[in-house]
Amino acid sequence: MGTCQKSGVDTQVEHLRQLYGDEFAPDIFAAIEALRTKYGDDFHEPGATAQLSEKDLLLITYGDTLTDHGVPPLQVLRRFYRKYLQGVFELVHILPFHPYSSDDGFSVIDYFEIRDELGSWDDIGKLAKDCRVMADAVINHTSSQSAWFTKFLKGDPEFSDFFVECDADVDLSTVIRPRTSPLLTRFEDHDSGERHVWTTFSSDQVDLNFRNPQVLVAVIDVLFFLIAKGARLLRLDAVTFLWKEAGTSSANLPETHLLIKILRHAISEFRSDVVVVTETNVPHRENVAYFGDGHDEAHMVYNFALPPLTAYSFIVGDGRRLSDWASQLNTPSDEVCFLNFSASHDGVGVRPVEEILTEDEIQQLVDATIAVKGRVSSRTLADGREHPYELNCTFLDLISKDSDDVSLKVARFIAAQAIVLTMPGVPAVYIQSLLGTSNDLQRVEQTGRARSINRSQHEFSSIVSKLSDDKSLESRIFSALTLLIGVRRRQSVFNPYESFRVLDLGSQVFALQRGHTSDDATISCIVNLTAERVVINVDTEISGADLLSGDVLEAGQHVLSPYAVRWLRNAGQD
């Protein structure tokens, strides 16, 4: 086992002292060290780092998005990956694959098992040999059907303080809510007594009590187990709400950041090449705080403001909001970066842009969602009012119009994805976007859940047939997007940590330059956000060969066709 640097040990113990007190910190640290021993020396790789490169793109998928009768879905996913995605995506995020009771996997019954209908740990291990797997660590809450909660209700002393209880009469009006359901849920224990348990997301998702250090140690056990099974990226789900405190917002509290520091240290000491990713669907200012000082919290944070700002830009044909926001992006060190995306298994959140877009502008996003038969999920504010929280819609449909022909629909969508691919950080593509999926209204009707609209399942043979037809929407999107990715992977300026600057080429265009102008090592990424021809002025610092078309754009005026994408390699480069 690798030895910790003394300063690292001291820092970890200090964090534990701040959270749990001087008396308990040494024993908690010893328990974490015992877990490292439990999982063995084989997982420590001296010198390995969590650094990522321009070749690292992430595919987001459920384990059973692709199906084939009689074949475990995880094996179908690996077959699809090897047939279509090897050399395209180096990273694959498999959404929760454990037994669960609700929320499509995010109410975990058993962290140490794979759902029988999905496959096995062996299937995860085989895929992990082809790519780096990102696993979900759903650590804010667990299922009300989990063994931990069952033992809690039965009065097992080991689990007596594992969940957050609260008197039903306590004023919790200041707590920030991501849902409209009640914050406390009443349960009956083994003595027929009432237990009011904190349930941030639903009555089936009971919140873990991190005030109890045994919960921290149990969660780290889960994280180490996932790493031992092959995960090289860990997505820490919903960490915004980890620490609860009546009379506060119970969101992004200082104690929550201490917890992330403790988890990051434990993970990095266990295996230094594991990437820690935080999922915090909150206003952008709060989201970026999970970088910490650039060394002690997340390696990557989801760039949650990017999806709604990109969608808004295409819906209104104006990129000023997106450009203004992007020009202010920064990270506290060159060891951390954003995870950029336009769509995920969840909808497009609007909380991240509450301090960026006006209420009227957010309403334009809501109206666009409703116009394409999407759904709008809400949250409850402190004054009891409901407010839009999330747009449930495929990104393809969100920025499309009924009058679009296929060519226009594809061009607009690929232009949007080009923005994701050029932003500083690591790009992530949701499998429904890659496959050109539209709103699944039938699935919404079947499940009664708005998020099901973007969680379609596909027969493997059907996908193969569609991708083989070069005239199909699915094939055209898949081919165009993988082509962009292929070009991107060959350009070192798309390294996640490389410098950038936003260019001003007019409100109808979003333009970003990656690399250093001092040595001409730049690529200027230009996207027409409109269905109109747009004239732009190209100067000598932007001019160059288009990596996508091969055309050379000299300094001067040029016309961009509707939804055109240009990646200009500066003319000063060989």
What the block records as the tokens of 302 is 């989801």
Q: How many CB atoms lie within 10 A of CB 246?
A: 13
H or E element at residue 154: helix 147-154
Between the CA of residue 219 and those of 38, 91, 99, 247, 255, what are the distances in Å?
14, 24, 17, 26, 16
What the block records as the tokens of 319 is 């990129």
Under 8 Å between Cβ of 543 and 505: no
| Three-class SS state of 67 | strand
- Cβ contacts of residue 122 below 8 Å, gap of 6+? none
CA torsion angle for 229, 231, 234, 238 (degrees, to 10)?
-60
| Three-class SS state of 56 | coil
The secondary structure of 289-309, three-state, reads HHHCCCCCCCCEEECCCHHHH
Catalytic residue annotation: 237
Query: Measuring CA to CA, which residue among 329, 257, 240 is closest to residue 296?
Result: 257
Round to whole Å and give the CA distance between 131 and 92. 7
CA torsion angle for 114, 262, 232, 89 (degrees, to 10)?
110
What the block records as the tokens of 68 is 């084939």
Residue 484, CB-side half-sphere exposure with 13 Å CA sphere: 25
Fill in the amino acid letter for 389: Y
Under 8 Å between Cβ of 236 and 267: no
Round to whole Å and give the CA distance between 209 and 199. 11
